[in-house]
Copies of this chain bind each other. A is one copy, B any other.
Amino acid sequence: MSVYNAPIRDMQFILNDVFKAEEFWQNNQQLSHLDNDTVSMILEEMSKFSKNVLLPLNRTGDEEGATYLGDGKVATPKGFKEAFSQYAEGGWIGLGGDPDFGGQGMPKMVTMLSEEMVFTANQSFALYPNLSGGACLCLYYAGSEEQKATYLEKIYSGKWSGTMCLTEPHAGTDLGIIKTKAVPNDDGSYSITGTKIFITAGEHDLTENIIHLVLAKTPNAPEGSKGISLFVVPKFLVNADGSVGERNKVQAGSIEHKMGIKASATCVMNFDGAKGWMIGAENTGLASMFIMMNYERLTMGLQGIGGAELAYQNAVVYANDRVQGRADSGVKNADKPADSIIHHADVRRMLLNAKVISEASRCFAMYVAKQLDTAKFSDDSETAKKANDRVALLTPVAKAFLTDRGLEASIDCQQVFGGHGYIREWGMEQIVRDTRISQIYEGTNGIQSLDLLGRKVAKNGGAFVTDYVNEILDFANNMTANHAIKQAMIDSANKLADLTKSLLGNLDKKDEINGCAVDYLQAFGYVSFTYMWGLMVEASNGKDGEFYTNKAKLADFYIARMLPRLDAHIAMVKATSQPIMDFDVSFFAVGE
């Protein structure tokens, strides 16, 4: 029933007009083989696949869900296995992987668009290859040559899949207190024992082997996060010839029953003396994990875009079809008993809200992707370092702000459907339920905010922010388009600089970062969206066609109807953490 047509036009616009992809590829030797035609073909292929294969499995997958069959076995919903095979055969799992290991070597600027389409069509499905991709990144950057040779090609090809085993029942955000133990064996391997929860794709029926990347503590490891090591623990041990061997002592104990992403198997994984091998050096497990975090967190942002985009497209169809009431500006469908609700301003307000969210989010994700690619592919170490710093600054914003806005857009578009939005068969409520997880996992959005304000802003005295603000001001001052977005960029960037300065002056209050982080990130997000609309307006300037003039109108709508929130978040941050911490802890109690 759902519709989804990938917004290829907008993707191409952002890729080429805004971020000048071809020029960028020409300037980076490792990417110089790339051209627009190749990329267009990739986008067209995924557009078809997401629409024809993944979308039809979205609601059936939700209704059926993943199933725990007992005895450690998990079944994915009908059709997932075939879709996964096709996805793997198309080379999509290794789209961004190193060609030396069978990957396609595509930059993030391309893979993010493919990932967005997958997340839009089917959030649950997207998680299966997504976790494989995360595990490969970890192995690629921190694994030994032997480990890379053993696992990467198998995972890229979709024969095997990967997981990330971090969380334990008592340890989520606070990984320093994990209890899973890794005891060295004589043969250089380790014996892993412990329970991991919330393991996406921990068990399923899509691949012949599952490669778990597991955080655990060696005997006598230092306390806290400095004593964590990373291990690779295959479900089936791997024979010398690369074939699948003996069953390892790791098993799914159950799967969670969740609000959404029901077709994604979220497993409890029991490691009972399972054989594992250390990745990288002892006690550097968290660092290895963080290598892939920036990629993963951007990807979670894409999930937010997916929710917004699918919700928008379906709400647009409904708003055109549904007739109800007469337009305030005069009868529009005289032959019908009422006008399409698309003519009601409040319906348009909700749709435009979702539209400015999905387009600004896509642009922001591409901005971050370009920085990721610059960091990875640039030959100039100074350029790469600058890009890395920018990635560090913006990644928590991309994860949290894009998923927060994604939920908002989903809810607005559900509202367009009235009562029908609450009924399962229309699919809108599933988008809300599915998208909601993106704000929670991969580090809650509160944790992202702490990362931003604590590690990325306060720790360097706001240096990264200053660079970002200066870039925005430079761009705004040099833009040629005559549009209110120019002044909006200048004002909002200055406000961010001022807010940062004022916050940094309050750090004598011990709870200031924790108490202000979320609103600071929100403010940062709206400043960034303003910048994105500036980039898009400038890239549209002087070009013919409604697509471009509508970009300018969307920027107008953004300034009028969304940007005013910026000042609210600034005021909340400036109010400091004091009104929050003014209560005795005993206040937070419920009666008997």
Contact = CB atoms under 8 A, between A and B. Distances in A.
A445 interface: yes
The 10 A-B residue pairs with the shortest CB-CB distance, nearest first, are A345-B515, A560-B575, A259-B429, A564-B571, A345-B514, A345-B511, A560-B579, A564-B568, A5-B591, A174-B324
A374 B409 CA distance: 41
A48 to B, nearest CB: 12
Interface string A332-368: 0000011000111111111110000000000000000
Nearest to A449: B346
A198 to B, nearest CB: 5
A559 B576 CA distance: 12
Contacts of A518: 346, 349
A428 to B, nearest CB: 9
15 contacts: A5-B590, A5-B592, A259-B422, A259-B423, A316-B589, A319-B588, A345-B511, A345-B580, A346-B450, A346-B514, A418-B440, A556-B579, A560-B579, A564-B568, A567-B567
- Copies of this chain present: 2
Nearest to A423: B256
Interface stretch (A382-390, A431-439, A488-496): A431-439
A349 B421 CA distance: 31
Contacts of A170: 323
Interface string A5-23: 1011100000000000000
Contacts of A281: none
Nearest to A557: B579
Interface string A147-186: 0000000000000000000010011111001000000000
A415 interface: yes
Contact of A348 (B422, B556, B583): B583
A515 B349 contact: yes
B415 A444 contact: yes
B5 A328 contact: no
A232 to B, nearest CB: 24
A171 B420 CA distance: 12
A313 interface: yes
B337 A514 contact: no
Contacts of A316: 588-590
Contact of A320 (B517, B577, B589): B589
A343 B221 CA distance: 28
Consensus secondary structure, chain A interface: helix
Nearest to A577: B345
Contacts of A590: 3, 5, 313, 316-317
Contacts of A580: 345, 348-349, 352, 557, 561
B572 A564 contact: yes
Interface string A502-541: 0000000011011101100000000000000000000000
Given A324-B173, A590-B316, A329 B510 contact: yes
Interface string A123-137: 000000000000000
Contacts of A511: 328-329, 345
Nearest to A259: B429
A37 interface: no
Contacts of A583: 348, 352, 550, 553
Interface string A251-279: 00000111110000000000000000000
Nearest to A309: B590
B432 A436 contact: yes
A546 interface: yes
Given A256-B424, A352-B583, 12 more contacts: A197-B419, A316-B589, A329-B581, A345-B511, A414-B436, A418-B440, A419-B440, A421-B440, A433-B433, A546-B584, A550-B587, A561-B580
A221 B190 CA distance: 82
Contacts of A436: 411, 414, 422, 429, 432
A424 B345 contact: no
Interface string A189-205: 00000000110000000
A565 interface: yes
Given A324-B173, A436-B432, A579-B557, A424 B515 contact: no
Contacts of A198: 419
A305 to B, nearest CB: 16
A487 to B, nearest CB: 15
A351 B588 contact: yes
A553 B316 CA distance: 44
B422 A437 contact: yes
B514 A344 contact: yes
Contacts of A556: 579, 582
B579 A415 contact: no
Contacts of A290: none
Contacts of A441: 419, 422
A513 B327 CA distance: 12
Contacts of A351: 588
Nearest to A352: B580
A45 interface: no
A585 B546 CA distance: 12
A222 interface: no
Nearest to A260: B422
Nearest to A515: B345
Interface centre among A258, A316, A422 (most CB of B within 10 A): A422
Interface string A306-322: 00000001001101100
